[in-house]
Amino acid sequence: MTDDRTRIVENKVKKVTDSLYKKGSIYSDLRRYLTSSGGTSGKLQGNPKLHKTGMALRTIVNGRSHPTEKMAEKSGE
């Protein structure tokens, strides 16, 4: 089940991709690829830094199935 914030992000991604498509910056196939539905929010994890004293954590954000996952993938290319 998606929360309201995830739907807000999905709508923003859709708005950006629609704008890029209308300007001719992306093709319809890429627009369809970047626009998703039914995504989930990012998961925050903490791995302990065993070599440090105290309770130091290394934070990791898992963005799988997040509405911006495919945009991040394409911007990294």
- Over residues 68-77, the pLDDT tens digits come to 888 888 887 7
Question: Tell me, what's the pLDDT at 3?
Answer: 63
Q: How many domains does the chain have?
A: 1
Q: Say which residues have a Cβ less than 8 Å from residue 45's Cβ, sequence separation at least 6.
A: 59, 60, 61, 62
Alpha-carbon distance 36 to 72, whole Å? 13
60: containing domain: 4-75
* Through-space distance between the first and last CA atoms of the chain, rounded to whole angstroms: 31
Please report the beta strands in the chain, taking only residues with DSSP state E, as ranges in sequence order.
Answer: 43-48, 57-62
State the pTM of this model. 0.68
